[in-house]
Amino acid sequence: MTRTIVKYVMIAIVCSGLALVSAPAFSADVTGKISTQTAPVQTNTRTAPLPSTTREYQQVDKPPVKRLDIPDYDLAGDLRIQRVDTSRKNQTSIHFQLALMNKGKQNYINDGVQIKVRLINVLNQTQFKCIQYPWSGPAIVNDYWKVEDVPRYIMFDQTKDRGAPRTINDVKMIVDIDPNNAFGEAQRHRANNRGVVTW
């Protein structure tokens, strides 16, 4: 029994002696080295919490749908020139058709739309001819163009109409739809109420 105890004591002494001898060498080896690398920046590695089963987290609030600001009336015109006739001496006739559409919500306009046609001498910016007439085509709708039933024309005489130029190349034709704004369109919707043609 005594031999066994002595054996264990001897083993313990030898082990502790080895540990004492190797510890300074190990620490000297570690502390003697200088690292040139910087430690990586640690990121937040927290995991997101699991979704709650309460209504507070399950409900997704959607933003309210904005209603489109479409007015009742937004008249638009498409001026279609058919031909220019200069066969008569000193006289020029411009033949045209007008197509209308209401880009607003109102889908049926049967009457009350006035059309104003002006001829301008571009050499001196002078109006020398003007006619006005009511729309004579079918009811105006908001999904496609409606065309006048009969082509129209405006004529001028270089010798009789004061301020008229000698050639069609110096003429600007302006067609206004609802020139007095009887339908109460907002100003921002009236840009398409006018058609302009030059030669």
Give the residue extent of every domain in the chain: 75-198
- Contact predicate 75/113, CB 8 Å: yes
Beta bridge mates, 79: 98
Smallest CA-to-CA distance from 98 within 117, 111, 84, 85 is with 117
CB 102 within 8 A of CB 113: no
| Helix extents (H) in the chain | 2-31, 55-58
pLDDT in tens for each of the 199 residues of the chain? Answer: 566 666 666 676 666 665 555 555 444 454 444 445 555 555 555 555 555 555 554 555 666 655 578 899 999 999 999 999 999 999 999 999 999 999 999 999 998 999 999 999 999 999 999 999 999 999 999 999 999 999 999 999 999 999 999 999 999 999 999 999 999 999 999 999 999 999 9
Per-residue pLDDT, 21: 52
pLDDT at 160: 95
Q: Does 75-198 carry CATH code 2.60.40.10?
A: yes
DSSP 161: S
Look up the pTM and report it: 0.66
